[in-house]
Amino acid sequence: MTARRSHFVVVILCVILLAVGSARAQNSQSAADIVVLHGRIYTLDSRQPWAEALAIRGDKIVAVGDDASVGKFRDHNTKVIDAAGQLVLPGFVDCHIHFMDGSLSLGRVNLEGAKDVSEIQQRLRDYAAKHPGNDWLLGRGWDYAMFGAAALPDKKYLDELFPDRPVFLEGYDGHTYWANSKALALAGITRDTPDPPNGVIVRDPTTHEATGALKEAAQDAVAKAVPEVTRAERLAALRAGIKWANENGLTRVHSAGQDFPQLELYDELRRHGDLTLRFYIAYFMDPPEMRPQDVDAIENARKKYHDAWIDTNAVKFMVDGVIESHTAAMIEPYSDDPSLKGKLFWEPAKYSSAVVELDKRGLQLFTHAIGELGVRTALDAYQRAEEVNHTSDRRPRIEHIETVTAADIPRFGKLGVIASMQPLHSYPNTDTLDVWARNAGQDRASRAWSWKSIADAGGRYAFGSDWPVVTLNPWEGLQTAVTRQTREGTPASGFVPSQRLTVAQAVEGYTLGAAFAGRREKTEGSLERGKLADLIIVSQNIFEIDPHKISETKVRTTIVGGQVVYQSDAK
């Protein structure tokens, strides 16, 4: 072979090798890591509402379409998930949660759904039998209706069982607590202990002894007497909570309190690859005023934690309490007790000043407001911030909004204030109908949880749970938003049925609406090319079934950031 011919062969071989290498690189570049086929995909993309398949590369969606077009993204390394005709949705977001508290509650006494004092006592006996000793018995979940007309617990029911073991039980709403005599003694609460600011030690009208019911900040003294939870216990609880959230189809949560001090623990989970749930964590701004150290803590945290997994660009205020215990702030007196109107936890001028300052810094603001005066106070402060700062796309939020005046409903849309609401709070059980509605009165109850009215007037809403106040399972909340009835279909006409949503509207509250409420609608909330691959496959098509069956939905697969983080064994 001549030198020229040999050189020619070498050149040809090089060209061939380059071509093969380029083809392989191109094929590797275009192949997906995961392909979901044969699905019924509800995208929430108005340009393509429904699809059959999607492809994921890395943590992003790279294609959405039919099986044939998306199938082209497969190669021998691609993981193929056969959705088998099941419904595929964007991952659900819980827009209001107390994640550490909820995670810790998984290992404590659960009183949710107990019918009366006797059932509460039996659950406590059962728990104590499995956890003997004289250490604290902690739990939560009792509701006001369990105690009849009084609507408040009494220490005597706990003292009967545990005269020498401290017991401390959180009400389902987190605003009223129940302690036995031993717990009160360890906290130093006596007949002469004064009520703290923003709190009430409920007392016997004759003896003035504490009854064991503690409203709002009055519980702090007992809480401080409870032994501190260890770091290892917190990490174990968080892992359990994250696992349960993924099993229920949650891919992101918005923390509205108690999680900010634990940021380092969430970061540790991330560093070890155990963070399979995205967190938007608000700093809790304690009344009565904002301090320099608050601003320092907020600014330091958001410099360090401001990405797709842990974000801290939010601040949570709390301006009032709850209606059941008469601590929510009302414009007019409570229906069942005209001597009470509740009160604001913040002096309005100090609250408004803090809102203006934090809004100027570009922080998103959450404000807990349940009574109509609380809601109006928040709207007024947000309007003031807009007038002073001239900021745009601020998206301040009001959390809960259980009552609101008719005049204030249109202000949500006009001011760009997001209504962050929890559908399961409106579940029309005896607590809602016999205690909440009685206290609020007929007029206010006619506007209970008015998410549809707010939307019809141009406002935006987003949904969550307030876990551990109620379960983080979004399917129960979604069903309530659609039916405004119990699982048994009561009341027959629905509780304020004018506020019912369609299934599509309710789903949006947990997906694209929730993403908008967290300033992330450009990267999350719908299934479209370029967005984060956060999605779920579920057991039934909620658009086609009896809406009273929505709560029976089970998650088959949860994918977060392109990784399968939960897979059900069920077929």
Give every strand in the sheet of 34-37, ordered side by side: 60-65, 53-57, 34-37, 79-82
pLDDT at residue 149 greater than cutoff 90: no
Q: Please, what is the Cα angle at 331 between 498 and 174, to 5 degrees? A: 75
pLDDT at residue 28 greater than cutoff 50: no
Q: Note the pLDDT of residue 2.
A: 52
Q: Note the pLDDT of residue 113.
A: 87
pLDDT band at 11 (very low <50, low <70, confident <90, very high): very low
Q: Which of 144-148, 516-520, 521-525, 536-540 has the lowest mean pLDDT?
A: 144-148
In DSSP terms, which residues pair with 53 in a beta bridge? 65
pLDDT band at 23 (very low <50, low <70, confident <90, very high): very low
Contact by Cβ (8 Å): 220, 199 = yes
Q: Note the pLDDT of residue 7.
A: 53
- Of the candidates 372, 518, 510, 345, which has an alpha carbon nearest to the alpha carbon of residue 439? 372
Hey, what CATH topology would domain 136-225 get? Answer: Diaminopimelate Epimerase; Chain A, domain 1 (3.10.310)
Per the structure block, which two tokens stand in for 484?
A: 């405004």
Q: Which of 15-19, 45-49, 224-228, 339-343 has the lowest mean pLDDT?
A: 15-19
Q: What is the pLDDT of residues 491-509, one digit of tens each?
A: 999 999 999 999 999 999 9
For residue 351, count CB atoms less than 10 angstroms from its CB and return exposed for 0-12, middle for 13-18, buried for 19 or more.
Answer: buried
Contact by Cβ (8 Å): 146, 178 = no
Domain boundaries, the chain: 1-30, 136-225, 234-530
Q: Note the pLDDT of residue 171.
A: 93
pLDDT at residue 410 greater than cutoff 90: yes
Q: What's the rounded mean pLDDT across residues 539-547?
A: 98
Residue 209's region, left for phi above 0, alpha for psi from -120 to 50, else beta, is beta
Q: What's the rounded mean pLDDT across residues 516-523?
A: 98
Q: Note the pLDDT of residue 29.
A: 52
pLDDT at residue 30 greater than cutoff 90: no
pLDDT at residue 535 greater than cutoff 70: yes
Q: What is the pLDDT of residues 444-454, one digit of tens each?
A: 999 999 999 99
Q: Please, what is the Cα angle at 420 between 60 and 86, to 5 degrees? A: 45
Query: Residue 370: which residues within 8 A CB-CB, separation 6 or more?
Result: 320, 321, 322, 323, 328, 400, 401, 402, 403
Q: Note the pLDDT of residue 17.
A: 45
Q: What is the pLDDT of residues 202-235, one digit of tens each?
A: 999 999 999 999 999 999 999 999 999 999 999 9
Q: Note the pLDDT of residue 243.
A: 98
Rounded Cα distance between 32 and 454, Å, is: 42
- Choosing among 3.40.50.880, 3.60.20.10, 3.20.20.140, 3.40.50.10160, the CATH entry for 234-530 is 3.20.20.140
Rounded Cα distance between 474 and 465, Å, is: 7
Q: Note the pLDDT of residue 9.
A: 45
Q: What's the rounded mean pLDDT across residues 191-195?
A: 94
DSSP letter, residue 189: -
Handedness of CA 303, 309, 313, 316 (dihedral sign): negative
Q: What's the rounded mean pLDDT across residues 542-560?
A: 98
Q: What's the rounded mean pLDDT across residues 545-557?
A: 98
Rounded Cα distance between 381 and 300, Å, is: 25
pTM of the model: 0.89
Q: Is the peptide bond before 410 cis (omega within 30 degrees of 0)?
A: no
Instruction: Pick the more confident residue, 12 or 262.
Output: 262
In DSSP terms, which residues pair with 365 in a beta bridge? 315
For residue 27, count CB atoms less than 10 angstroms from its CB and return exposed for 0-12, middle for 13-18, buried for 19 or more.
Answer: exposed
In DSSP terms, which residues pair with 558 in a beta bridge? 536, 566
Task: Report the mean per-residue pLDDT for the chain.
Answer: 94
Q: What is the pLDDT of residues 321-370, one digit of tens each?
A: 999 999 999 999 999 999 999 999 999 999 999 999 999 999 999 999 99
Instruction: Pick the more confident residue, 210 or 12.
Output: 210
The helix-helix angle for 231-247 and 263-271 (nearest 10°) equals: 70
Q: Could you tell me what percent of the chain has a pLDDT over 90?
A: 90
Measured distance between the N- and C-terminal CA atoms of the chain, rounded to whole angstroms: 65
276 residue type, one letter: T
